[in-house]
């Protein structure tokens, strides 16, 4: 067989040894001699060789330049590592109130204790490596594969992506780079510097030394720098004693210490364990709703530890399920909730960040410590008075209009107190003093109603618009339909915004919300300063105005502060200035968002909320809501008595109060006026009478407080027609110019814009005239039945509710004069397929002309047969006078029933002898002339019995 190197069959037929023995001829080894090349080919070959040489030189030059750049960066490392183990850059940061009174000192050295690796629990080291840098002991200080993946993610996302930083790089960022180098706009330059310096650091130090640096430098939140401080702050132990559960939790904190801060999720000082179900190691594992972020992060750490073989799955499950008890966060400080609120603001600030506490800053805040202590005491006093009614906590925010400055922030009545529930079936603590309730979301009850009416005004409603406080059912109709009721269970009929808002009536607010649109109202609330309520209109529905959406006391007070600021929104402001360790001062100013709400509309709402007469039907005159100075105020109580609010303002101060229990436990029906209302009243009056507080409040006004609300010059007061009922005594109202133009004095039937619950615009009822005088009319009808009809739901008797009691006279049908009467007929809104409405209320009712049928002969005959007459009211007539009156009507069959004291004891002395007391048939009944009429006549007094004659006994 001839050798052919291209013959695969040949090569497969020989063994390797045979191939070695069978040497091919020399010509095959050398190959055949190539043919001579042309001159052009030789020129191209030389050109290619020259280009290759040039490319090599360029590459070498690039490598040399890169090496030079690398060497320069590496040289910058020299001398910077000497201070890493000393941490001598710590400087105490101090926080003061607005007058320079010390609130707290952030002791950097007191929150960092350096330890060696042998003083750290192995599980903490393993947990840190697993979650932060699983190739730590193998990489050169840089994870190039991770960087490539991060680059690809960034390319796909179109922006820089996080990740791929090794432990070494993170340490470089924290301890070596300057604040300027860490600036967000230098991310790519910083990454390059990190890479070069991380590799250089890895050459100068071994892995354990780098890890030791890292664990002593990293920030774990709550002012804990380094693992020893973190173990002490969170668990009152040493790093070497950390359990797997504790270690896996702490290892997850450095990534985002604010987000994963376990202190925010404690229940009586304990972070509850969670059960990890089957499949928990999968990337798409879904945790139960409500699982706290620090527990989710802990599970992520445990997942990595299992994957790296550091722990078994059984050990990881047990660690996740363990309840972790935390050490008390008791610290000697003033206004603790406010201090930690400011701390969080600075930690989240790009310029200051988590290291602010070590930079020797002097932070001057907006807080007035004396005012803070007064507010704290007023809240504590009132809650202690109500403890027997199972209410144990309150939170208060005091803000300044036209600046947004926070003057006081009381997150609980006692920062150092915890009270567990004593109610059977309840869990948790009714008082968790360290929880700042001012930044926790709670249901606001009716406290959102002013913003509902502002939203409705923006959509076309005016103070003259008639709103119906009557039973109304919303879909889905049936057992699950929405049927809101008022606080006192009564209905009040037609009324207007002033009395509907002042008395916090529910149904008018719901109908105003439906008119305005839920989406539009949420948008207005966001404009006013509410940051929450992000779930969309469909989530909250029409119950939004009654408190279906949760807000924080800080946000709600901010929104009311927008009203106090005449519609200009001022975000909460907590810091006045910061002086750094070099004496450089950074000042902070208010950040106004002008006229986020029409100032004219705001003035109308403020006028309503400060009108003590308007709220008299429900609250009475001179309640705790009325102060010694003009003030606008609104209350709110959740339907199940869990949250009670009062938020109010003057032109120069806004105070928001929440009262309830930390564990959301039901109180013993403590409503807003009893709880938060008294606290609000007492705080406001103290602010009024204390000269020092007055001086602080007057600062934005050149020392002169604007004591009263000033109406904008363009507001117009116009007459309105009265409506029936105690809520409608007002004869005029305030109107903005655009309301007059939109409603139209010249075109009183112009259509109002309306919108459904999802914000879709529609056409609503034709608008009433600006004064509302066309809302009802008189109608002459024939009365067919009793004017009193029994009302459902145990309401009072309601006259005139049933259209079947009347008919409208028509030509050709004779109606006796005695059957004709005049009734008030309302111009009711047109039927809405999304509502079932009953136009009835306490003491009254309404029917429209369209509901009353035309009279027929049969209708009239059924009530007044032909030839019948109407029985007159003969009460108090003399017996003979009554007979003459009946005779004139053709009635001659009369029977007289004499009634003595024993028969009518209650009214006997109210009539003279022989006076008619009652008749049968009753007055008003239609009778035929041949009917026998019974006259009940008061019998004469028989006088005293004759001597010796016994007094008769009446059986």
Q: What is the pLDDT of residues 409-429, one digit of tens each?
A: 999 999 989 999 999 989 999
Q: What pLDDT, on the 0 to 100 scale, is given for residue 737?
A: 94
What pLDDT digit, counting tens, does each position of 620-676 carry? 898 889 999 999 999 999 888 899 999 999 999 999 999 999 998 999 888 888 888
Q: What pLDDT, on the 0 to 100 scale, is given for residue 154?
A: 60
As a whole number of angstroms, the distance between CA 498 and CA 607 comes to 9
175 DSSP 8-state letter: I
Which residue intervals of 855-909 are DSSP H helices? Answer: 857-863, 879-888
pLDDT band at 777 (very low <50, low <70, confident <90, very high): confident
As a whole number of angstroms, the distance between CA 892 and CA 559 comes to 77
- Weakest-pLDDT range from 19-33, 170-184, 839-853, 859-873: 19-33
Mean of the pLDDT values across residues 736-753?
Answer: 57
What is the average pLDDT score of the chain? 83
Where is pLDDT greater, at 938 or 70?
938
- Weakest-pLDDT range from 239-253, 339-353, 554-568, 771-785: 771-785
pLDDT band at 153 (very low <50, low <70, confident <90, very high): low
Task: Identify the residue whose tokens are 């966001």.
Answer: 526
Q: Is the pLDDT of residue 937 over 90?
A: yes
pLDDT band at 89 (very low <50, low <70, confident <90, very high): very low
pLDDT band at 155 (very low <50, low <70, confident <90, very high): low
As a whole number of angstroms, the distance between CA 497 and CA 733 comes to 10
For residues 115 and 228, the answer to whether their CB atoms sit within 8 Å is yes
Mean of the pLDDT values across residues 150-158?
Answer: 62
pLDDT band at 146 (very low <50, low <70, confident <90, very high): confident
Phi, psi of 708 (to 5 degrees): -120, 155
Mean of the pLDDT values across residues 687-697?
Answer: 96
Where is pLDDT greater, at 521 or 749?
521
Q: Is the pLDDT of residue 814 over 80?
A: yes
For residues 111 and 220, the answer to whether their CB atoms sit within 8 Å is no
463: enclosing H helix or E strand: none
Paired sense of beta strands 933-938 and 894-899, if any: parallel
- How is 300-350 classified by DSSP, letter by letter? HHHHHHHHTTSS-HHHHHHHHHSPEE------S-SSHHHHHHHHHHHHT-T
Q: What pLDDT, on the 0 to 100 scale, is given for residue 597?
A: 97
As a whole number of angstroms, the distance between CA 469 and CA 513 comes to 14
Cβ neighbours of 827 (radius 10 Å)? 15
> Is residue 745 classed exposed, middle or buried when 0-12, 13-18 and 19+ CB atoms within 10 A define those classes?
exposed
Most confident option among 35-49, 368-382, 529-543: 368-382
**Residues listed for the chain:** 955
Q: What pLDDT, on the 0 to 100 scale, is given for residue 409?
A: 97
As a whole number of angstroms, the distance between CA 379 and CA 387 comes to 12
For residues 273 and 320, the answer to whether their CB atoms sit within 8 Å is yes
pLDDT band at 3 (very low <50, low <70, confident <90, very high): very low
* Percentage of the chain exceeding pLDDT 70: 81
Contacts of 332 (CB under 8 A, 6+ apart): none
Q: Is the pLDDT of residue 765 over 60?
A: no
pLDDT band at 112 (very low <50, low <70, confident <90, very high): low
Count the helix, strand and coil residues of the chain and give each as a percent rounded to the nearest 5: 40, 15, 45
Paired sense of beta strands 362-365 and 93-96, if any: parallel
Where is pLDDT greater, at 883 or 88?
883
Most confident option among 212-216, 604-608, 737-741, 819-823: 604-608
For residues 437 and 395, the answer to whether their CB atoms sit within 8 Å is yes
Q: Is the pLDDT of residue 537 over 60?
A: yes
Q: What pLDDT, on the 0 to 100 scale, is given for residue 1?
A: 40
Report residue 87 as tokens: 């941490």
Q: Is the pLDDT of residue 23 over 60?
A: no
pLDDT band at 882 (very low <50, low <70, confident <90, very high): very high
Q: What pLDDT, on the 0 to 100 scale, is given for residue 330?
A: 55
What pLDDT digit, counting tens, does each position of 556-611 carry? 999 999 999 999 999 999 999 999 878 899 999 999 999 999 999 999 999 999 99
Q: Is the pLDDT of residue 150 over 90?
A: no
Preceding amide of 921 cis, omega within 30: yes
- How is 702-717 classified by DSSP, letter by letter? TT----S----TT-EE
Mean of the pLDDT values across residues 809-821?
Answer: 90
Task: Identify the residue whose tokens are 């020797």.
Answer: 360
pLDDT band at 953 (very low <50, low <70, confident <90, very high): very low
173 DSSP 8-state letter: I
Q: Is the pLDDT of residue 772 over 60?
A: no
Q: What pLDDT, on the 0 to 100 scale, is given for residue 391?
A: 93
What pLDDT digit, counting tens, does each position of 198-230 carry? 888 888 889 999 999 899 888 898 878 889 889
Preceding amide of 476 cis, omega within 30: yes
Q: Is the pLDDT of residue 767 over 90?
A: no
Mean of the pLDDT values across residues 383-389?
Answer: 92
Question: Angle at which helices 244-251 and 122-132 pack, to 10 degrees?
Answer: 30
For residues 913 and 940, the answer to whether their CB atoms sit within 8 Å is yes
- Weakest-pLDDT range from 63-77, 255-269, 922-936: 63-77
Model pTM greater than 0.85? no
For residues 64 and 334, the answer to whether their CB atoms sit within 8 Å is no
For residues 672 and 645, the answer to whether their CB atoms sit within 8 Å is yes
For residues 452 and 514, the answer to whether their CB atoms sit within 8 Å is no
Q: What pLDDT, on the 0 to 100 scale, is given for residue 773?
A: 62
Angle (CA) 899 904 905, round 5°: 130
Report residue 720 as tokens: 């309105």
- Weakest-pLDDT range from 119-128, 140-149, 845-854: 140-149
As a whole number of angstroms, the distance between CA 601 and CA 604 comes to 5
| Nearest one of 409, 404, 398 to 336, comparing CA atoms | 409
Angle (CA) 169 174 176, round 5°: 80
Report residue 242 as tokens: 């950390």
- How is 55-120 classified by DSSP, letter by letter? HHHHHHHHHHHHHHHHHHHHHHHTTTSTTTTT-TT-B-EEEE-TTS-EEEEE-TGGG-----GGGS
Q: What pLDDT, on the 0 to 100 scale, is given for residue 106?
A: 79
Q: What pLDDT, on the 0 to 100 scale, is given for residue 30?
A: 40
């Amino acid at each position: 067989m001839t050798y052919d190197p291209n013959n695969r069959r040949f090569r497969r037929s020989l063994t390797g040894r045979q191939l070695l023995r069978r040497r091919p001829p020399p010509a095959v080894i050398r190959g055949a001699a190539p043919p001579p090349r042309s001159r052009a080919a030789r020129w191209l070959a030389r050109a290619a060789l020259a280009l290759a040489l040039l490319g090599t030189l360029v590459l070498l030059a690039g490598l040399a330049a890169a090496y030079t750049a690398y060497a320069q960066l590496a040289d910058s490392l020299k001398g910077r590592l000497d201070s890493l183990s000393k941490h001598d850059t710590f400087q105490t940061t101090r926080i003061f109130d607005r007058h320079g009174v010390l609130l707290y000192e952030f002791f950097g050295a007191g929150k960092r204790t350096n330890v060696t690796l042998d003083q750290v629990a192995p599980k903490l080291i393993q947990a840190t490596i697993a979650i932060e840098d699983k190739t730590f002991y193998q990489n050169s200080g840089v994870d190039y594969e991770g960087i490539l993946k991060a680059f690809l993610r960034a390319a796909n996302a179109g922006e820089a992506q996080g990740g791929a930083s090794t432990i070494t790089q993170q340490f470089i960022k924290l301890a070596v780079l300057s604040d300027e180098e860490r600036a967000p706009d230098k991310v790519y330059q910083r990454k390059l510097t990190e890479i070069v310096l991380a590799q250089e650091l890895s050459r100068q130090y071994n892995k354990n030394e780098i890890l030791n640096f890292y664990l002593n430098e990293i920030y774990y939140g709550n002012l804990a720098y380094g693992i020893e401080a973190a173990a002490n702050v969170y668990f009152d132990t040493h790093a070497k004693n950390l359990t797997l559960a504790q270690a896996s939790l702490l290892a997850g904190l450095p990534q985002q210490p604010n987000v994963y801060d376990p202190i925010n999720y404690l229940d009586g000082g304990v972070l509850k364990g969670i059960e990890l179900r089957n499949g928990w190691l999968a990337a798409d594992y879904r945790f139960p709703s409500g699982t706290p972020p620090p527990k989710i992060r802990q599970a992520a750490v445990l997942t990595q530890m299992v994957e790296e073989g550091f722990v078994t799955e059984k050990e990881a499950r047990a660690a996740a399920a363990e309840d972790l008890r935390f050490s008390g966060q008791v610290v000697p400080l003033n206004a603790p909730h406010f201090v930690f609120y400011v701390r969080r603001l600075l930690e989240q600030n790009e310029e200051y960040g988590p290291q602010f506490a070590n930079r020797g800053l002097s932070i001057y805040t907006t807080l007035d410590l004396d005012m803070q202590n007064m507010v704290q005491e007023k809240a504590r006093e009132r809650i202690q008075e109500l403890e027997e009614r199972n209410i144990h906590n309150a939170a208060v925010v005091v803000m300044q209009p036209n600046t947004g400055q926070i003057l006081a922030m009381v997150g609980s009545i006692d920062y150092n107190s915890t009270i567990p529930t004593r109610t059977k079936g309840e869990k948790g603590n009714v008082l968790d003093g360290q929880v700042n309730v001012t930044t926790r979301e709670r249901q606001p009850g009716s406290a959102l109603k002013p913003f509902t009416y502002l939203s409705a005004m923006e959509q076309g409603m005016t103070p003259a618009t008639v709103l119906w406080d009557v039973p109304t059912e919303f879909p889905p109709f049936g057992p699950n339909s929405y049927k809101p009721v008022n606080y006192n269970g009564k209905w009040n009929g037609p009324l207007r915004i002033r009395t509907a808002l002042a008395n916090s009536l529910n149904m008018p607010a719901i109908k105003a919300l439906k008119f305005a649109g839920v989406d539009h109202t949420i948008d207005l609330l966001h404009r006013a300063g509410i940051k929450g309520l992000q779930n969309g209109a469909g989530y909250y529905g029409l119950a939004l105005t009654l408190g279906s959406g949760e807000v924080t006391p800080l946000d709600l007070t901010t929104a009311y502060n927008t009203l106090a600021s005449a519609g200009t929104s001022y975000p909460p402001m907590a810091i006045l200035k910061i002086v750094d360790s070099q004496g450089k001062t950074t000042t902070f100013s208010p950040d106004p968002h002008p006229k986020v709400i029409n100032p004219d509309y705001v003035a109308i709402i403020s006028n309503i909320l400060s009108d003590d007469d308007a709220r008299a039907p429900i609250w009475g005159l001179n309640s705790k809501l009325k102060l010694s100075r003009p003030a606008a105020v609104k209350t709110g109580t959740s339907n199940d008595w869990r949250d009670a609010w009062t938020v109010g303002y003057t032109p120069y101060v806004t105070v928001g109060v929440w009262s309830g229990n930390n564990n959301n436990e039901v109180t013993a029906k403590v409503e807003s006026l009893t709880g938060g209302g008294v606290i609000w009243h007492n705080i406001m009056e103290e602010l009024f009478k204390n000269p020092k507080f007055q001086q602080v409040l007057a600062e934005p006004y050149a020392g002169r407080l604007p004591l009263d609300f000033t109406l904008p010059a363009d507001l117009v007061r116009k007459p309105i027609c009265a409506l029936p009922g105690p809520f409608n005594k007002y004869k005029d109202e305030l109107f903005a110019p655009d309301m007059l133009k939109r409603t139209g004095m010249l075109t009183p039937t112009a259509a109002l814009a309306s919108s459904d619950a999802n914000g879709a615009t529609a056409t609503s009822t034709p608008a009433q005239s600006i004064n509302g005088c066309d809302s009802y009319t008189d109608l002459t009808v024939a009365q067919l039945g009793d004017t009193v009809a029994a009302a459902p739901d145990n309401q009072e008797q309601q006259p005139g509710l049933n259209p079947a009691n009347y008919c409208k006279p028509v030509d050709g049908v004779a109606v006796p004069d005695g059957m004709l009467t005049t009734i008030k007929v309302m111009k009711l809104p047109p039927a809405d397929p999304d509502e079932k409405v009953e136009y009835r209320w306490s003491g009254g009712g309404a029917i429209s002309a369209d509901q009353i049928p035309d009279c027929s002969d049969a209708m009239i005959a059924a009530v007044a047969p032909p030839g019948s007459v109407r029985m007159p009211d003969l009460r108090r007539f003399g017996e003979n006078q009554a007979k003459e009156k009946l005779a004139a009507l053709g009635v001659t069959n009369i029977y007289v029933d004499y009634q003595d004291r024993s028969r009518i004891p209650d009214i006997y002395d109210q009539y003279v002898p022989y006076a008619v007391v009652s008749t049968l048939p009753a007055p008003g009944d239609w009778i035929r002339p041949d009917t026998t009429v019974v006259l009940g006549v008061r019998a004469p007094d028989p006088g005293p019995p004759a001597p010796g004659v016994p007094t008769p006994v009446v059986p």
